[in-house]
Amino acid sequence: MFVPELSHTAPLEAVDAVLPDHVAWLDELYERGIVPAAGRREPRDGGVIVAVAGDRARTGEIAAGDPFARAGVCEYRVTEFVATKAAPALEPSRESAS
């Protein structure tokens, strides 16, 4: 499992101009089962996404497709973690402890 964390690199006015496209992009990822949760950080200087994408390279490709990234209003940092315990809704994403 991965946690792509984005940080805004542009003023909020520029971020807000791309926000509808970013939300539509996230909606598609929710529908495909890649993103079970996402949201903005407080203070509003970026956001956090939980992604089930298979591997780091695929997660990077997904992040690169974000309209925020394509518009140059954010940068991504991806953290990988092994979800050895999960709530029932996330159980299919859980990984075995090794």
**Predicted confidence (pLDDT) per residue in 39-64, tens digit:** 999 999 999 999 998 899 999 999 99
For 56, list phi and psi in degrees, rounded to 5.
-60, -40
Residue 89, domain member (yes or no): no
Q: Is 5 in contact with 46 (CB distance < 8 Å)?
A: yes
The total number of structural domains in the chain stands at 1
Domain that holds residue 8: 2-82
How far apart CA 57 and CA 22 sit, in angstroms, is 20
Residue 92, domain member (yes or no): no
pTM of the model: 0.86
Residue 8, domain member (yes or no): yes
The pLDDT, as a whole number, for residue 54 is: 84
Residue 14, domain member (yes or no): yes
